[in-house]
Structure 1
Amino acid sequence: MIKLLKNTILATAFLAVSGAYAAPILEVSSDGRLTGASGVEVGGALYDVAFKDGTCAGLFSGCDQAADFQFKSKTEGEAASLALENQVFVDGLAGLFDSAPRATLGCENLEHCAIYTPFAKPQSAGIVTVSKFTNEATGQNFPDRTETVNLDITGTTAGTTASVWAVWTPHASLPATSVPEPGTLSALAIGAFALLRTRRQRSRGARV
């Protein structure tokens, strides 16, 4: 019983430190180009992302209503861009997707690639606000960065060499196990210790 309680406490602490989400699965074409990823964590939820060329109007149902976008605020858009930087544009066995921007579908530029995540329609008609993540090649003078910019909804990335749209959708597989809030973790730990203490007290009483 005591061993079980100790294991429960250790497992609870492990969840608090490590989180409950696995690394996303990178989608790579037959010629080695990064086309997207599955199971990217953004704000505690999982999403799939695909990199596509075209216009915002064509890729996002007109790109003129808040409902057209997966993310609805600057904070959410920036979180999506940060997830791209930390989880998707990484160097690994699948490819050098951080070091070599041209390894991303839609980007041929040797130095950088901009990935647009739209999140809000501003006041001006025909203009969309996006979170722009720029992946810089290794050795460049500028680090990878995220900024907010306004773009024409009919402007296309097709034919350009250094930009592409990120089309986000909820992750298609089973929901990930949620991570307990800090307060919940504390309650679990306190409860486990209380049970352990009661068990010890009963054991001592039985020896008297």
Structure 2
Amino acid sequence: MKLVLWAMALLFGAGALSFAPAPAQAAPILLISEGKLIGANNVDVLGTLYDVSFVDGTCAAVFSGCDSVSDFDFNDFASATAAAGALIQQVLLDSSLGNFDSLPSLTAGCSYVANCTVELPYGFWPDGTVKTGLAGNFAGSGDFWGTGTLRLSENTSVISNQALVRFTLAATAVPEPATLVLFGAGLLGLAGLSRRRRRG
């Protein structure tokens, strides 16, 4: 009987763990400073959450020299363009916090009213220029994402419709599943019941 109770507890616990719902991912949290969109937290790129910041400068200044693929946040076309797409679909949107799609000049690093191009380096072209994932935010319609090119000498701080973007892994806490606590409590209860029966 005792063996049957332990087996049932194990099966119940395993079943509870396998049916536990995955934690929901919240919408990105936009970061605003003096009316400008400076970044966002918890941006979902291919199932991984990132914190994002829009910055100005040269590729070398922003990306640790910009002379190796290891300097970049992403290292291939697929992930860099997915990250650019995540910016268009999750961050550069009109909301109660600001019209960041309709007014591209509200994005940090951009002051041009008609459009803002956000670039994310990921590799190098044969001529030495930098391959970028590119998020094109246009006033009204026409937003897009894809790939682009950045010259090493290009300084986005003097270009009114261009900014660079950094992606870092989001520091999100992982909550302990309630089912593990429930499973552990069930096992302790069975152990106590077994000990009580042995005494009696």
Q: TM-score, normalised by structure 1?
A: 0.71
Change (3 A) 1:175 1:88: farther
Q: 1:164 to 1:20 in 2, by over 3 A?
A: same
Residue number in structure 2 paired with 1:184: none
Matching residue of 2:88? 85
In the alignment, which residue of structure 2 is the partner of 1:162? 161
Q: Which ranges of structure 2 fall in alignment gaps of 5 or more residues?
A: 1-15, 177-200
2:57–2:164: 8 Å Cα contact kept in structure 1?
yes
How far apart, in 1, do the equivalents of 2:105 and 2:172 lie?
A: 29
CA contact (8 A) 2:123 2:131 kept: yes
Aligned length, in residue pairs: 162
For the pair 1:66 / 2:69, whether they are aligned, the reply is yes
Give yes or no for the alignment of 1:33 onto 2:32. no
* Distance in 1 between residues matched to 2:70 and 2:171, nearest whole Å: 19
1:175 positional shift: 5.0
Deviation per residue, 1:25-52 (Å, 9 max, x gap): 10000x2100000111101111111000
Q: C-alpha separation between the residues in 1 aligned to 2:111 and 2:174?
A: 35
Matching residue of 1:98: 101
Tell me by how many angstroms 1:128 deviates: 0.8
**Which of 120, 124, 128 is 2:130 aligned to?**
128
d(CA) in 1 for partners of 2:175, 2:81: 22
Q: CA–CA distance in 2 between the matches of 1:176 and 1:50?
A: 26
User: 1:132 Cα deviation (Å)?
Assistant: 1.2
Deviations 1:102-122 (A, max 9, x none): 111111111100000111123
1:46, 1:176 within 8 Å by CA — same for their partners in 2? no
Preserved contact between residue 97 and residue 104 of structure 1 (Cα < 8 Å): yes
Q: Is the 8 A contact 1:64 1:128 kept in 2?
A: no
> Which structure would you say has the larger Rg?
2
Distance in 1, Cα, partners of 2:100 & 2:41:
15
Q: Which residue of 2 aligns with 1:112?
A: 115
Which amino acid in the other structure matches residue 25 of structure 1?
A: I
1:174 and 1:53, CA in 2 relative to 1: closer, same or farther beyond 3 A?
same
Query: Quick one: which amino acid aligns to residue 145 of structure 2?
Result: T
**In angstroms, what is the RMSD of aligned CA positions?**
2.3
Q: Quick one: which amino acid aligns to residue 124 of structure 1?
A: D
User: 1:20·1:176 contact (CA, 8 Å) conserved in 2?
Assistant: no
* Distance across 2 between alignment mates of 1:168 and 1:124: 26
- Aligned residue for 1:158, secondary structure, equals helix
* Percentage identity across paired residues of the two chains: 36
Letter in 2 for 1:26: L
